[in-house]
Each structure stands twice: as C-alpha cells, then as structure tokens.
C-alpha cells in the first residue's frame, strides 16, 4: 500500500506565522491555489481512497484533490492537528511572553510537556498512528484477487504534527527528530507499506508549487 500524506494549504495563521492547532480556519487565497496545485500533481495517480482531518483547512484541500478522482472524502478525527490549547493563534513571541515557563520547557523537550489547556505530542502520536494502522489493516482486508494491497493508494490530508509523528513512528525515529525535519504547507510525503518493512519514498515534496501559483 502506498500512503500519500498531504499537508493542507496555507491559512491566515500560516501566513502570519501564528501557532495553529484545532482552530478551524479555512484556506486563504494562496492556500486555495496550493490546493489546486496539489490536485493537479495527484490527478494522474490512481487513488483508491482519500481521508482527511475534519478541520476546514484540511477538508478544503482534500476536496480539491478529490475532484479529479470522483471518490468520497472521508473525515477521520484521528488525523486532527495537535490541540495547542491556550497558545492557539499566538505568535512565538507572544507565547514566550505569556507562557514563559512552558515556552522554556517546550524548546528544551517538546515531547515531555503538555500544551497549556491542550494536549501532548506523544498523545497525538498514539492517536494518529493508531488511525494509520487502522487504515493499513482496512486496505489489506479489502484487497481482492484482482488488486493486490500493494497496489492500493491512500491519500491522507492532515497537518504538521500528525505527518511528522506518523513518519517518525513508521521509521522508528525518536520524536525529538521532529525538530530536524522541515515540512511545508501543501507538501507531499509518501510512505510505502509492504510485508517486509515500510519505506519513506518522498518527504516535503513541493515541486508542484513552483508552477507560479
């Protein structure tokens, strides 16, 4: 099975470099153009199913992709972004000033601290990775004689932390490696699952955004 992980297009919070958790913003004008670019990049891929985070920015991106495939977009709560609680919508400078103790802990080891009024990265990892495991099992169970499960292509439109957690967990990497991985909005990552092992085929692919959006 091939799993294509898509990060949603840009929102106003992304543009303003604000922390964005479960606040339900839609795409801005640039984000809508990015979603169209993603759709064109994937239009010739034989996609079997499209899953999405239920948050608007992800759903809007997923619907743009689905138009070329005429398949239903399936929302999954397990693909939601990290709940960042009270810092949602803040800039990093605002977070440093208003939550200084938390900010120091977060910058030291973001895996060991709870967001004020929100969740933790390990909790998110457990939730979204369980969701991906369910998806893989479902595709394996649904594979028939005419279509081997290795030929299945699944698109999952989600967010920064879920994608980083899914890739880190699949490859057996410590979550602290997240700080060393860059993941742009409207980027594509691809994992291949086979009986022997899972392979990271591509990471942070943004070639489709270079066509003058």
Question: Where in the sequence numbering do the catalytic residues fall?
Answer: 8, 81
70 and 160 Cβ atoms separated by less than 8 Å: no
The whole-angstrom distance between residue 173's C-alpha and the CA centroid of its chain comes to 17
**Quick count: other Cβ atoms within 10 Å of Cβ 145?**
5
- Other Cβ atoms closer than 10 A to 207: 11
Closest CA to 48 of 149, 157, 137, 131: 149
Where helices occur in 8-150 by DSSP H, the ranges are: 12-15, 29-42, 56-66, 92-98, 100-108, 121-142
* Cα gap 47→106, rounded to integer Å: 38
What the block records as the tokens of 166 is 């899914």
CA dihedral 82, 164, 143, 69 (to 10 degrees): 80
**CA 48/CA 27 separation, integer angstroms:** 25
For residues 111 and 175, the answer to whether their CB atoms sit within 8 Å is yes
């Amino acid at each position: 099975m091939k799993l294509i992980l898509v990060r949603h297009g840009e929102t106003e919070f992304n543009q303003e470099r604000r922390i964005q958790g479960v606040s339900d913003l839609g795409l801005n004008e640039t984000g809508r153009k990015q979603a169209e670019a993603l759709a064109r990049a994937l239009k010739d891929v034989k996609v079997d199913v499209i899953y999405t985070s239920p948050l608007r920015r992800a759903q809007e991106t997923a619907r743009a992709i689905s138009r070329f495939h005429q398949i239903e977009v399936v929302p999954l709560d397990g693909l939601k972004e990290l709940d960042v609680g009270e810092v949602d919508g803040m800039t990093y400078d605002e977070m440093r000033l208003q939550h200084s103790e938390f900010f120091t802990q977060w910058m030291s080891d973001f895996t060991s601290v709870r967001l004020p009024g929100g969740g933790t990265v390990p909790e998110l990892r457990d939730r979204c990775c369980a969701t991906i495991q369910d998806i893989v099992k479902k595709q394996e169970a649904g594979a028939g004689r005419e279509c081997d499960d290795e030929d299945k292509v699944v698109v999952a439109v989600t967010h920064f932390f879920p994608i980083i957690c899914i890739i880190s967990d699949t490859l057996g990497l410590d979550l602290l490696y997240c700080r060393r991985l860059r993941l742009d909005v409207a980027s594509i990552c691809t994992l291949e699952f086979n009986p022997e092992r899972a392979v990271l085929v591509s990471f942070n692919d943004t070639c489709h955004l270079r066509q003058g959006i």
